């Protein structure tokens, strides 16, 4: 399917920041626009003070890049933009160039659902510098948000310990785009279904839902509301029981459940949406079991997240299914993933690469030079370390990984004794797709398999264990030399 085309029916080439276009114009005027460049998309810190991140959003990226083209309306709009002196910001010859430009970059990326770590590239873009620059903002927009939500969903599902988690967040999502993308990312992160029907149609995600408080309140009594719903949708009965008095609502649901059984149907369960969920779920379970509804599920909602779920489990709550809305789709405790997109190398046609480093007073913001790949080492117990290396630089038989945040922290790996895989996979070559996208269910399964490769300490919520990720030693040494050269140039 064409996600962006189905959603927007128009070009997304202007889904960018103005400075991308002003830089593109500058490259063109300086006749640098055909210089080859390499950019990497990565993040600097895990979200939610966690120990892992789930890469997500690649399907959007693929569809966006497949259709990257400035159409006549884009060009007409850009022609209207004015500089501070009131004259056109862009000359017509540049706009003609954009109108004729065909996307021709090489794209490599980690598959969606991959567990990823700070500083390691998620996407590598290589091609004419003007094109690499123009796609930056859209790639960050698509990868940052969906990776954030997929990670939040994975954390919530870990807290649920195998019990189903439903995504119920559309009404609280950050607009239509946020709602659609969040439903997709939440499913990849581990949720089993969504309430978002459009996301179900677009992506094939299972949809779930029954009725709201307004249904109950529209009838004279709760019993009448339950009975009427059961009359017309007997195969979809999860009754919301907290409109008036929760435990009385459970008893009323049981009465309707008995009537359903007489008709050959089964009440699926009840939903709790307020109050002391631990106490109410325990009492509701007792009432359901005593009435012979041992298989009826107890669904809980009400601003839940991984921390509340964990607490409810410690309190002995008997909740079977978790409905998560606001705190999932808004990534309530961290509104953004700090993904960045940095240039790492440039060259003139037929010339050697010139490697680039962005300097900063903060070590975490110093970028890594090179044409980078990420190699994950594994033994029989799972993943043991990720190494960032330059594909132009030969690797030794025994590698040393250097933590870019603390150069004294190093990990040696005898490569002949472990297995490895390179995470960045070819996505496009010269603008042509060379990647077979998996189904969303396959991506979801892959994410679960990925998480299973890592020690439980990395997945805990409080003070998670730090998984080893770093630069291959010769790359680290070269980076240090380059930094010192640049520092000396600045000082002179």
Domain CATH code at residue 272: 3.20.20.70
Copy the structure tokens of residue 27.
Answer: 């490259």
In a domain, 202, yes or no: yes
In a domain, 295, yes or no: yes
- Reported as a pLDDT band with limits 50, 70 and 90, residue 280 is very high
pLDDT at residue 1 is higher than 70: no
Residue with tokens 């997500």: 56
pLDDT tens for each residue of 282-334: 999 999 999 999 999 999 999 999 999 999 999 999 999 999 999 999 999 99
pLDDT at residue 4 is higher than 70: no
Q: Strand, helix or coil at 422? A: strand
In a domain, 46, yes or no: no
In a domain, 281, yes or no: yes
Q: What is the pLDDT of residue 5?
A: 62
pLDDT at residue 202 is higher than 90: yes
pLDDT at residue 349 is higher than 90: no
Q: What is the pLDDT of residue 414?
A: 86
In a domain, 453, yes or no: no
Percent of the chain with pLDDT over 70: 99
Q: What is the pLDDT of residue 366?
A: 94
Percent of the chain with pLDDT over 90: 94
Sheet with 398-402: strands ordered across: 410-414, 398-402, 469-472, 382-390, 372-379, 419-422
In a domain, 382, yes or no: no
Average pLDDT, whole number, for the chain? 96
- φ, ψ (nearest 5 deg) of residue 106: -90, 130
In a domain, 228, yes or no: yes
pLDDT tens for each residue of 148-178: 999 999 999 999 999 999 999 999 999 999 9
pLDDT at residue 10 is higher than 80: no
Q: What is the pLDDT of residue 137?
A: 98
Q: What is the pLDDT of residue 9?
A: 67
Mean local confidence (pLDDT), 465-491 = 93
**Residue numbers of the domain that contains 323:** 150-329
In a domain, 388, yes or no: no
DSSP assignment of 134-191, as one string?
Answer: HTHHHHHHHHHHHHHHHHHHHHHHHHHTTS-EEE--GGGSSHHHHHHHHHHHHHHHT-
pLDDT at residue 428 is higher than 80: yes
- What are the start-end ranges of the E strands in 217-365? 238-240, 269-272, 297-300, 321-324, 339-347, 354-355
Domain tally, the chain: 1
pLDDT at residue 249 is higher than 70: yes
Q: What is the pTM (predicted TM-score) of this model? A: 0.96
Q: What Cα–Cα distance (Å) separates residue 404 from each residue in 39, 388, 478?
A: 18, 10, 12
pLDDT at residue 52 is higher than 80: yes
């Amino acid at each position: 399917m064409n996600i962006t085309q189905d959603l927007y029916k128009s070009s997304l080439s202007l889904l960018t920041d103005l400075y991308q276009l002003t830089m593109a114009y500058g490259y063109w005027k300086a006749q640098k626009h055909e210089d080859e460049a390499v950019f990497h998309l990565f993040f600097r810190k895990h979200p939610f003070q966690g120990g892992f991140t789930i890469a997500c959003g690649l399907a959007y990226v693929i569809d966006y890049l497949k259709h990257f083209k400035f159409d006549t309306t884009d060009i007409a709009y850009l022609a209207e933009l004015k500089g501070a002196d009131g004259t056109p910001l862009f000359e017509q010859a540049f706009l003609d160039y954009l109108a004729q430009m065909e996307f021709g970059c090489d794209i490599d990326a980690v598959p969606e659902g991959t567990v990823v770590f700070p500083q390691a590239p998620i996407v590598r873009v290589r091609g004419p510098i003007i094109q690499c620059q123009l796609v930056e903002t859209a790639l960050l927009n698509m990868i940052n948000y969906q990776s954030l939500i997929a990670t939040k969903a994975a954390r919530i599902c870990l807290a649920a310990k195998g019990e189903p988690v439903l995504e119920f967040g559309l009404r609280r999502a950050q607009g239509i785009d946020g709602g659609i993308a969040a439903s997709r990312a939440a499913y990849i992160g581990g949720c089993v279904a969504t309430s978002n029907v459009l996301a179900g149609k677009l992506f094939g995600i299972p949809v779930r839902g029954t009725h709201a408080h307004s249904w109950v309140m529209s009838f004279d009594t709760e019993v009448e509301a339950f009975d009427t719903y059961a009359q017309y949708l007997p195969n979809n009965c999860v009754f919301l029981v907290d409109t008036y008095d929760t435990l009385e609502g459970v008893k009323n649901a049981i009465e309707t459940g008995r009537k359903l059984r007489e008709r050959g149907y089964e009440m699926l369960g009840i939903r709790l949406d307020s109050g002391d969920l631990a106490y109410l779920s325990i009492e509701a379970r007792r009432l359901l079991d005593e009435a012979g509804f041992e298989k009826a599920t107890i669904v809980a909602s009400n601003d839940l997240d991984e921390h509340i779920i964990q607490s409810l489990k410690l309190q002995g709550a008997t909740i079977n299914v978790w409905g998560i809305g606001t705190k999932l789709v808004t990534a309530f405790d961290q509104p953004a993933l700090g993904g960045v997109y940095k240039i790492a190398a440039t060259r003139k046609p037929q010339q050697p690469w010139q490697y680039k480093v962005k300097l900063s007073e903060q070590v975490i913001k110093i970028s890594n030079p090179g044409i980078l790949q990420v190699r994950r080492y594994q033994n029989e117990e799972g993943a043991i370390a990720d190494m960032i290396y330059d594909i132009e630089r030969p690797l030794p038989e025994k590698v040393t990984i250097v933590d870019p945040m603390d150069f004294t922290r190093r990990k040696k790996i005898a490569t002949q004794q472990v297995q490895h895989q390179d995470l960045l996979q070819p996505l496009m070559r010269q603008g042509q797709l060379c990647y077979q996208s998996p189904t969303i269910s396959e991506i979801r399964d892959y994410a679960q398999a990925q998480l299973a490769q890592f020690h439980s300490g990395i997945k805990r919520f409080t003070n998670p264990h730090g998984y080893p990720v770093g630069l291959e030693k010769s790359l680290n040494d070269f980076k240090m030399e380059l930094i010192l050269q640049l520092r000396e140039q600045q000082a002179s």
